[in-house]
Amino acid sequence: MTGNKYQTEEPKGVDFAIFKLQNFLFNALNWENVELFGRVDKVPNGEEKTALKPYAYYSGTDYNPVVRDDKFAANIFFVLADRANTQQGISFTVEAKIVFMVDLDRLYPNAAGRADHLAQMDVVKALKGQTNFLVTSLGNGLRECLGEFDTEDIKFTNMAPNHIFCITGNLSYQISC
């Protein structure tokens, strides 16, 4: 994979688990010109601050709203549940979605027929051997992948060549005490 990879500096805990998964995906997927973010923050929006907007980390203290940037063949980022579970007090598991907003024509220019399943298959196949991310489901569409957010600013239809899908799974990580 080529493109931009935005990562938290000196990641710890869940950010370190995401950091490792980012690096793995960056190397495992044979995609060109991709924008790969870590976890997005859920930022209250609007006058009543009831709607949430997804904001991604760029660098330092720079965060920007997640949008489909067509300068890239794909935009990828992580959305975490608000609660992590633990049995031992230092090992945690959190439900995580890896969201993929892709231009199928740019990722699979020679595909015969629909390429949405090719993208999904490549990601699922890449994640298959990961021990810290156990896939539990695959979703399609803006509502399924970003339903908890106000997506008014994301101008993206889920019609070829555009495709949005998410892989949900249990992400395991440790907190060092």
**How far is residue 169's CA from residue 123's CA, in Å, rounded to a whole number?**
13
Domain architecture of the chain: domains with CATH: 3-174 (3.30.70.1700)
- Per-residue pLDDT, averaged over 124-143, amounts to 93
Confidence of residue 136 (pLDDT cuts 50, 70, 90): very high
Confidence of residue 177 (pLDDT cuts 50, 70, 90): low
Closest by CA to 146, choosing from 65, 35, 33, is 65
Q: What share of the chain is helix, strand, coil (3-state, %, to 5)?
A: 20, 40, 40
pLDDT in tens, 81-95: 999 999 888 899 999
Q: How is residue 160 annotated by DSSP?
A: T
Question: What are the φ/ψ torsions at residue 35 (nearest 5 degrees)?
Answer: -105, 115
